[in-house]
Amino acid sequence: MRLIAAALAMCFAVASPARAAENNWTLDRLMNTLGAKKSGRAHFTETRYLKIAQQPLESSGELVFNAPDHLEKHTVSPKPENLVVDGDMLTVDRNGHKTTVPLRNYPELGAFIESIQATLAGNRFALEKAYKVSVDGHGDEWTMTLIPTDSRMVAKVASIVLAGTGDSLTRVEIKQADGDHSLMRLQDASAQ
């Protein structure tokens, strides 16, 4: 789920200068705006709220995206971990052990990543194959809510809420079906 949050965050974290507030902010306009950027970096701070933990779990690091299908999440705190999606392959590098698996072996995760790639490409129709998608607000303050439609996804994820200003994403919240949830805050690092 952390890779999924990172990947979703990455697809929106790369920002160009914010556009002026406009009425009529539609899903098509949001997809066109967010899909226009083909690469970028963002610093993240993620807070995970788990029923089995007495306190929230905090992590931070950097996200990297290169179109059309390369996503990286480099966690530096509390301990190093690298997650990389390159095409259909997921590589996890943790505690000196590197494991690579094809996403097709994990249909729920594969479907989730495919929807992320659709978002990155600005492909509204591919995104709507896996989610009920709604957009609220306007250009200077918007939210996009994704509700899974596939029963396997519904068993894992209740909703994903993305919020941003103009063409930059500032927050990604994932609510899991079991009640756990995570909140990722983003800061563009492309210019640094």
Q: Which pLDDT tens digit goes with each residue over 109-148?
A: 776 677 666 666 677 887 898 899 999 988 778 898 999 9
pTM over 0.85: no
**What span, in angstroms and rounded, lies between the C-alpha atoms of 40 and 147?**
26
Calculate the alpha carbon distances from 120 to 12, 31, 89 in Å. Answer: 8, 8, 17
For 49-59, write each residue's pLDDT tens digit. 999 999 999 99
In CATH, what class is 2-188? Answer: mainly beta
40: its two tokens: 């970028």
* 3 state DSSP class of 74: strand
Can you give the residue ranges of every domain in the chain? 2-188
